[in-house]
Amino acid sequence: MNRRELLAAAAAAGLLCGSPGPARAATAVPPEARRLLTLLRSPAAARRIGRAYLEKAGDEADPAKLVALIMGEGGTVEGDLLRHVAERQRADFAAGRTIKLDGWVLSRTEARLYALAAV
């Protein structure tokens, strides 16, 4: 994973800046997963990072499990999904729930979002 891939994935997910892009959701995933995947503008870059995450967390290689972990309690969000994910991500960093992928320090939530694109 190089810097440009991470840049593409992170920016595309609106997690560094910007807003969600057009929907390009995968088809064989549960409804909530589809909503989450709409946050990604560069699924290819996200998939590469996601695969790196799944190499470390193979037991999470399941869309339903990943959705539950990304969304948190309740498993669904009615309102602004991007804001919800961004808040979960901020909370991860504050609590030290991070993971290093190729040295990049990412929040667990964002890494799982990328993993969702890879499963």
Partner 1 sequence: MNDADCVGEHRVDLLWSRLRYFGGTTGHWGGNCAPLDEQDFEERAWVPDSGWPFPKSELDASYPKAYEYCELPSANFSADYWAAQSASFRERRISLAGDPIGEKIMLKSPPTRFGEVYRNALAQPGNRCDVYLHANVVEIETNEEANRVTALRTKGIDGQTCRFRAGVFILASGIENARLLLLSNRVRPRGLGNDHDVVGRYFMAHTTLRTGRAMLSLPEGTASYYATLGWEQRFLNEISPFIDALQPSRAAQEREGILNSVVFFEESYEGEKTPGFVAMRRIAKQIVHGRMPSNLVRDLGIVVGDLDEVVKALYARSVGDRSYKILQTRFFCEQAPDRDSRVGLGDDLDALGQRKLVLDWRLNDLDKRTVIRTQKLLAEQFGGLGVGRLQVEFDSETDPWPRGVDSSAHFMGTTRMSTDPRRGVVDGDCRVHGIDNLYVAGGSVMPTSGATMVTVNIVALAVRLAGHLRSRLS
Q: Which two tokens stand for residue 104?
A: 């990049």
Q: Does 85 interact with partner 1 (rule: CB under 8 A)?
A: no
Question: Does the protein bind partner 1 through residue 37 (CB under 8 A)?
Answer: no
Does the protein bind partner 1 through residue 3 (CB under 8 A)? yes
Question: Does residue 86 belong to the site contacting partner 1 (CB under 8 A)?
Answer: yes
Burial of 67 per CB tally in 10 Å (0-12, 13-18, 19+) = buried
6 is a site residue for partner 1 (CB under 8 A): yes
Left, alpha or beta for 102 (phi > 0: left; psi -120 to 50: alpha)?
left
The answer to whether residue 94 forms part of the interface with partner 1 (CB under 8 A) is: yes
> In 10 A of CB 99, how many CB atoms?
17
Find residue 106's DSSP bridge partners: 99
Say whether residue 99 binds partner 1 (CB under 8 A). Answer: no
99 φ, ψ (degrees, to nearest 5): -140, 145
Site membership for partner 1, residue 19 (CB under 8 A): no
Return the residue of 45, 85, 106, 116 that touches partner 1, per CB under 8 A.
Answer: 106
**Does the footprint of partner 1 cover residue 28 (CB under 8 A)?**
no
DSSP structural state of residue 79 = S
**Binding residues for partner 1, per CB under 8 A?**
3-4, 6-7, 10-11, 15-17, 86, 89-90, 92-94, 96, 98, 100, 102-107
